[in-house]
Structure 1
Amino acid sequence: SRGCVTCVVLNAKNDFEIVYKNNTFIEPINRYIAGFLAFREIEFLVKEYDTLKQNGSQFMPQVWLIDGNGVLHPRKFGLASHFGVLVDSAVIGVAKNPYYLNFVDQTVKDDHKRQKLSLGKVGDQFPITNSSDEVIGVALKTSSGCKNPVYVSIGHKVSLNTAITVVLKCCKYRVPEPVRQADIISRQLINQ
């Protein structure tokens, strides 16, 4: 299926003005397999990084927000981590859905629903742990008008606390602006 990869760089000091944008239409060779998104999409993300580096290096972000998981992943190496390692940059994974719930029992799923209801104000969060009780991410409330959190995790070269702070500072709505703007632009192009 045809897709569109959009790289958007925003100026956080100027109300998230778009300072760089590039879109590439893609035809993924590999089909989507849960847990292996990076193998389907990583080459396209790295190409966008390379294009930015060559054509707009003055806009290179201090930190990348990737629409996908970092260490909040069954193998602790999701798309955001994979990208960060390949480009040697600070990366944060931001997922819109709790992918990890596909790999846990019903008790954990029920606990997740209960904890989600306890998120009252912006910045409220609860940790997500793996089977070894290691914190691998957080469910984070980013907007007062939204009942669903986003799922934030370390991608590469950032701490979880830094990731949370950056995501909160980048949110006007539920999804951080870099990810939200890339989604909006990609959808508009695909639907044309």
Structure 2
Amino acid sequence: MNIRNQLAAIACVSILILGAGCSSNQLPNMDTNSSSQSVKVSTGEETTKTTSKAIKMVYFIPTEDGKGVKQVSVETTDAVTPKAALLAMLKADRQQQYPIFSKDIEITSVTVKDGVASVEVNKAFIAGKGGDLTVTLQMAAIVNTLTSFNDINSVLFVSDGKKVPVVGSFDTKKPLKRMENLIVKS
């Protein structure tokens, strides 16, 4: 066989391989009526099946009249972690007409041990700008959001790895419990 015939044979085999493409059972599931989507993830030799299903995430934001905080429930396919809930809370608050969390306030991490969530915050949060009502609503939003998780009973605030004793004029030396009295029922 000459070189031209060999190249033609290689080209034909390549076209057949590429033309075979995906079989119908390899195509992605495009069922839009399902609330759950199944995805196959290849991990070397093994293939595992994971399911993306909408999960409810709960957080609290201040009411527009400032009389307390209200519960918000959203569906997400992302992991629902304490930090994710707090970041969703910050985002939702900042979209309100009168947000209580300024853009310079940051929550960098949340760790949970023995039912206590330690929230790492920055100096802007500790300063407690905006007065007593603002700080009280911030505390109620954060503490009630975190205590919505089954494994969290109270919340401590930390900055640079150290306990924060005071936020504004709010005493935070001891872990803060759920603030039911500030939850406004819809």
TM-score over 0.5 for the pair = no
Q: Whose relative contact order is higher, 1 or 2, with alpha carbons under 8 Å and at least 6 apart?
A: 1
Give the TM interval when normalised to the shorter protein: 0.3 to 0.5
- Which structure would you say has the larger Rg? 2
If each structure's strand is expressed as a fraction of its own residues, which one has the higher value? 2
